[in-house]
Structure 1
Amino acid sequence: MNTRQDFLEQVESSLINHTFVKLTLSKAPHKSENLQNLFIRPVLIKEETLYSFVYRYLTKDETKNYDLKSALTEISELLENYFKNATLCTQHQDYQLLTSKKGKVTIQKSAAKRTIEPLTHDKAKKKRAGTDADYLRLLGVTDDQGTVIPKMADKFRQINKFLEIIEGLINSSSLPKTPKIVDMGSGKGYLTFALYDYMKTKGYDVEITGIELRQDLVDFCNGAANQLGFNKLSFVKQPIQDYKNEDIDILIALHACDTATDDALSKGIAAQASLIVTAPCCHKQVRQQLKGKTITNPILKYGIFKERQYEMVTDTIRALILEREGYESKIFEFVSNEHTRKNVMLVGVNHRDKKNHASATQKIEDIKKEFGIDYQQLEKLLT
């Protein structure tokens, strides 16, 4: 067994007998060749076993799926005419095909040492919100059979992503068993209901208040909460800046427009909330200060870049203010920008007395000086 044909026969046998685990083809004829490697594994798609080929090029990866016959043809063609080395992994034995510089072919065998995983097309992600949840049906995310309504698929993914983020943040902070949560700008309450349900399943005797300006949404959400028996979930019609209660353990403000994000952040900081979770939306306040001012930075000559630049400046100052007030701040992507460009999440985890006042203040002043900014709204709210 020292020829390429012998190796190919082992590949074919493992595929036919369903002992095939994976195959890697390597050692292109020249280092400059565009195609560098090929990785092959079985996948289950619509109850049919196919073979996923990942072609690794110098600048990209390309994936194709083949049936058994086509897979064998492609492997044979590439192994005979292109790749020099290969590693075949089966459930019981591994085979390594090696080609020397002089063209001598050798095949090495070794015992397999691995756990065989079930076939899937993609690894299933853990869902924090199951499709059978009653609140998803009431909010119009799923139908009566517990199936996600197609037009709500993005919302369902957003809910689970949000809960995934919250789970990590909760694990990194200290919360009482009876946490008080305020969602400022709760809208129709998709994430508010999801968070209440999630916290209850985790054993928290949680109390959540949703703050919303639209009376019809407040009425709808209160009716849904009552119908679901979510006794400690309530919604009130009120501007964020008018909210007075400082008994807050977690403050949430997702896509609160313009300076409403700053209003919410100031409420969370004043209450010394353990967690502050925001998805900033509009950034008009900083940009409006620059009207009529001469801008020398060539990047800011173009409107689209100017808009993005001041979004980054605004959220960086907000993050630094959180650090100044004793929070560990984080900024990251919330949902894919395929769905919305307003996809940044700014969070703060309260470390209580670990304030970084002097350093953070200096950084804030440097940013304002560089961009000609007089103040950022959150600064003014905290003075």
Structure 2
Amino acid sequence: MSEPLLVALDRVRAWLLDPETLVRAVASGRHKGQAPPRWRRVELRYVDLKAGRHLQVVAYDETQAHTSNHAVDAAPAAVDALLREQFGNWHVETLTQTHQVRVTKKLEAMVHTSARSAPAEVVRDHDRGKDRLLPESDPVFRALGLSDAEGRMKPSRQAKYRQVEEFLRLLDSSVSEAVAKGHLRRPTAEEPLRIADLGCGNAYLTFAAERYLTGVRGLPVRVTGVDVREQSRDHNNAIAAQLGVSAEFVVGSISGVELDPAPEVVLALHACDTATDEALARAVAWGAGLVLAAPCCHHDIATQLRTTATPTPYSMLTRDGILRERLADTLTDGLRSTLMRTQGYRVDVVQFVESKHTPRNTLLRAVRTGAADADASVRGEYDELVATWGISPRLAALLDA
């Protein structure tokens, strides 16, 4: 049932301003048809400083995080400013409950509250080393060999840890928003959310996603990892057994694997070249509600650009190899996004980790809304673009097949 938006935001305000019970809160999205908020995402929690307890606000723009701390008596002003930002979703965790607030098209609020099975543990330490979605000492990192026996992240694994952390933030907000808006069902212990990681390799992100969603968020999930190598399957199943987690790993190609029942969330992180196209096509065939794909290399379109005549007046964009490669990256992911939109997905192209940690830092986030953006003008622009450049996107062929 919906309720007046101001009434719901008053409740959110009360939860945010309780320094004894608030565990964590996240604001994201925007009101339908309204200008986007100043921040794409904001996280709030209380921390204990030398000067006493403060409300810590971490606000993310497109490139970095901005942290501010507000004394308890100054917290109302900070919270009120955030409530005026017109975020479309609020996820609030307290010691005993989890609250999800979604703003509807009619500017009303849908509020869902669930009780925790056990009171949450709260970390008030201000040490940013501990202000992580998953701390370095988490058993999953030791099992994967990223941290040492004392629970300290190995220096050579810091970049991988950063990638995992930023991916979990995107996964967290994406799943929360998709569930709140009804694009993903609300999972239960009897029917956990089905997640498939295609081309999982050593399954760093697979295990981290399972650990965070189940252990921190309290969401029942069932994870399946797919990789063509038997060694990966055996290695990952052994780690799953060691950790006692609900995860299964199978041998198979992205295009050929059969999963029954079909996954509802599909992950494909750094699947090379057209393997990303295969993952997107499989997600469409399964009717997955959420897809997160971080492409790795774009050889297919780059090769086509080298072997076809460059249309006038764009020769200066392909004369130099490095520019041609970058153009191929942009063309490939732009065409992928358009094709996914024609299949009923809302698509965002985001940067999921800073380029200093990996040059392959673009992520396609697709949410199945069912409203195909396939009107004549969109399809016409797509057809004109591929005809002009003389290219044949692999994803288009897979979808047609």
* The two structures share one fold, judged by TM-score above 0.5: yes
1:176 aligns with 2:186: yes
Q: Return the match for 1:334 from 334, 352, 369.
A: 352
Q: Return the match for 1:148 from 153, 157, 175.
A: 153
Which has the higher mean CA deviation after the structures are superposed, 284-293 or 242-251? 284-293
1:234 Cα offset (Å): 1.1
Identity value in percent: 31
- The residue aligned with 1:245 is 259
Letter in 2 for 1:300: T
Letter in 2 for 1:377: R
- The residue aligned with 1:131 is 136
1:146 Cα offset (Å): 1.1
- The residue aligned with 1:273 is 288
1:305-361 Cα deviation digits (max 9, x unpaired): 000001100000100111111111011112211132211111101112x11112432
Q: CA 1:308–1:380 in structure 2 vs 1: closer, same or farther (change >3 Å)?
A: same
Supply the distance in 1 between the matched residues of 2:399 and 2:164 (Cα, whole angstroms). 32
Supply the distance in 2 between the matched residues of 1:265 and 1:342 (Cα, whole angstroms). 17
SS of structure 2 residue aligned to 1:340: coil
Q: Return the match for 2:378 from 354, 360, 364.
A: 360
1:165-214 Cα deviation digits (max 9, x unpaired): 00110121123311111100101111000011112122322111101122
Q: Return the match for 2:211 from 197, 205, 213.
A: 197
1:18-50 Cα deviation digits (max 9, x unpaired): xxxxxxxxxxxxxxxxxxxxxxxxxxxxx9xxx
Contact 1:181 1:251 in 2 (8 A): yes
- The residue aligned with 1:287 is 302
Q: CA 1:114–1:245 in structure 2 vs 1: closer, same or farther (change >3 Å)?
A: closer
1:124 Cα offset (Å): 7.2
SS of structure 1 residue aligned to 2:296: coil
Supply the distance in 2 between the matched residues of 1:292 and 1:165 (Cα, whole angstroms). 37
Contact 2:163 2:357 in 1 (8 A): no
1:301 Cα offset (Å): 1.0
- The residue aligned with 2:247 is 233
1:154 Cα offset (Å): 1.1
Larger relative contact order (CA 8 Å, sep ≥ 6): 2
1:123 Cα offset (Å): 6.7
**Cα RMSD, aligned residues only:** 2.4
Letter in 1 for 2:185: L
Q: CA 1:289–1:199 in structure 2 vs 1: closer, same or farther (change >3 Å)?
A: same
1:131-184 Cα deviation digits (max 9, x unpaired): 221111011111111111111111111111111000110121123311111100
Unaligned ranges ≥5, structure 1: 1-46, 48-90, 92-112
Which residues in structure 2 correspond to 1:9-24 (within 5 Å)? none
- The residue aligned with 1:382 is 399
Contact 2:162 2:357 in 1 (8 A): no
Supply the distance in 2 between the matched residues of 1:175 and 1:144 (Cα, whole angstroms). 39
- The residue aligned with 1:310 is 328
Supply the distance in 1 between the matched residues of 2:352 and 2:257 (Cα, whole angstroms). 26
Letter in 1 for 2:149: D
SS of structure 2 residue aligned to 1:235: strand
Q: CA 1:258–1:324 in structure 2 vs 1: closer, same or farther (change >3 Å)?
A: same
Contact 1:129 1:159 in 2 (8 A): no
1:44-92 Cα deviation digits (max 9, x unpaired): xxx9xxxxxxxxxxxxxxxxxxxxxxxxxxxxxxxxxxxxxxxxxxx9x
Supply the distance in 2 between the matched residues of 1:292 and 1:158 (Cα, whole angstroms). 35
Supply the distance in 1 between the matched residues of 2:293 and 2:367 (Cα, whole angstroms). 12
Which has the higher mean CA deviation after the structures are superposed, 340-349 or 362-371? 362-371
1:249-302 Cα deviation digits (max 9, x unpaired): 100001111211111100101111110000011212222223443224112111
1:212-267 Cα deviation digits (max 9, x unpaired): 1222222111100001111x201112111111236111000011112111111001
Q: CA 1:142–1:357 in structure 2 vs 1: closer, same or farther (change >3 Å)?
A: same
Which residues in structure 2 correspond to 1:71-82 (within 5 Å)? none
Supply the distance in 1 between the matched residues of 2:172 and 2:126 (Cα, whole angstroms). 26
SS of structure 2 residue aligned to 1:218: helix
Supply the distance in 1 between the matched residues of 2:397 and 2:161 (Cα, whole angstroms). 37
- The residue aligned with 1:188 is 202
Contact 1:313 1:367 in 2 (8 A): no
Letter in 2 for 1:181: I
Which residues in structure 2 correspond to 1:6-45 (within 5 Å)? none
- The total of aligned residue pairs comes to 267
